[in-house]
Amino acid sequence: GDLSEEQEGIVIAHFGQLLNIEALEGEDKGEIHSCHVRANIESLVTGDRVIWRAGKDLTGVIEARLERQTILQRPDNFGNLKPVAANIDYIVIVIAPEPEPFQGLVDRYIVAAETVGIPPVILLNKTDLLTDENRKPIDDMMALYESLGYHTIRASVKSSTGDDSNKGMSELLDWLDQHTSVFVGQSGVGKSSLIQALLPEHDIRVGALSENTRKGTHTTTTAKLFHLPSGGDLVDSPGIREFGLWHIGEQELLEGFIEFRPHLGFCRFRDCHHEKEPKCAILAAVESGEISERRMDSYRRIKHAIADQNARGLMLR
């Protein structure tokens, strides 16, 4: 009747029952339609590819969800995993000289990325704030992640012309091109500033604010997909920026330290906690230098923090 042929689209935002679908093909390519979902489709999230039909006046109906390449999930209050965004290619973990990066926190973000199977990229922002005092520990940290095989980028939003900071921003743009990425990281590292610089037409903060007052606080948790003028997409929401601080299980934590993986399963005891056990393959790898002390310390810290969290959770229940 009033609906067009089936076509492919992408979820770029949602507002309650309605989803904004961008046409990916045909005459409507690039057009955004506010669509209903057929009742038989499981929850759709930003980044999902769908089959849909366009209706009149930029409306439409979503018929099916296409297979997801990746899915970012977060646990709800009951510990059930809920999808937050789909088809994310990179999790860009932003750090900066200020606020000072903590290895444990960065490792937590990396573990979370490894757990969902999305490659993390470590982005050092604010290179303009590097000094003789803070440079060494940051260089060491970046070198450690490079040695583990992670891609690292150094950039500065506040790049003064002539220094190598602009090179960093263009390296970042190249990396984001052709992919869908999210920015995560501690508050104050410059995520908003980066997004602002990459998407000059959008005022992310003002946008979030005005929506807030119009529709209530729940809108702030829904992710939106933005096209970068230079190519590639960004998915952003306050919830996504906190990705990695959500709950991690003990096994996920262990496997999230990629250099531990070749040693897992080789401890003498099957239920080894890799603490003081004899013939522990992980501890042996630390001893031989295959696993760095820093990463092992960080693993222990995160493990204890999780155990504390769980203990508190049990007491509340």
Which residues of this chain interact with ligand GDP, rule CB under 6 A? 125-126, 128-129, 156-158, 187-193
Contact partner, 128, from ligand GDP, Zn ion, none, Cβ < 5-8 Å per class: ligand GDP
Q: From residue 121, how far is each of 55, 94, 95, 113, 239 by CA, in Å?
A: 40, 8, 11, 10, 19
Range 92-107 burial, b when 16+ CB lie within 10 A, else e: bbbbbbeeebebebbb
Residues in contact with 92: Cβ distance below 8 Å, sequence separation at least 6, in sequence order = 120, 121, 123, 176, 181, 182, 183, 184
Contact partner, 282, from ligand GDP, Zn ion, none, Cβ < 5-8 Å per class: Zn ion
Residue 191 CB, shortest distance to ligand GDP, in Å, is 3
Contact partner, 272, from ligand GDP, Zn ion, none, Cβ < 5-8 Å per class: Zn ion
Which of 12, 234, 267, 296 is in the footprint of Zn ion by CB under 5 A? 267
- Per DSSP, 289 falls in state T
Which of 65, 74, 274, 295 is in the footprint of Zn ion by CB under 5 A? 274
How far apart CA 14 and CA 314 sit, in angstroms, is 35
Which residue's CB is nearer to ligand GDP, number 21 or number 155?
A: 155
**Closest-CA residue to 267 (of 253, 251, 281):** 281
Which residue's CB is nearer to ligand GDP, number 108 or number 274?
A: 108
Which residue's CB is nearer to Zn ion, number 215 or number 273?
A: 273
Beta bridge partners of 50: 9, 65
Q: What does 50-62 look like in DSSP terms, one character per residue?
A: EEEEE-GGGEEEE
Residue 195 CB, shortest distance to ligand GDP, in Å, is 8
Which residue's CB is nearer to Zn ion, number 62 or number 272?
A: 272
**Closest-CA residue to 46 (of 75, 21, 64):** 21
β pairing state of 120-124 and 18-23: unpaired
Contact partner, 274, from ligand GDP, Zn ion, none, Cβ < 5-8 Å per class: Zn ion
Contact partner, 304, from Zn ion, ligand GDP, none, Cβ < 5-8 Å per class: none
| CA end-to-end distance (rounded Å), the chain | 54
Question: Is 282 a residue that touches Zn ion (CB under 5 A)?
Answer: yes
Which residue's CB is nearer to ligand GDP, number 14 or number 191?
A: 191
Residue 317 CB, shortest distance to Zn ion, in Å, is 30
What residues line the site for Zn ion (CB under 5 A)?
A: 267, 272, 274, 280, 282
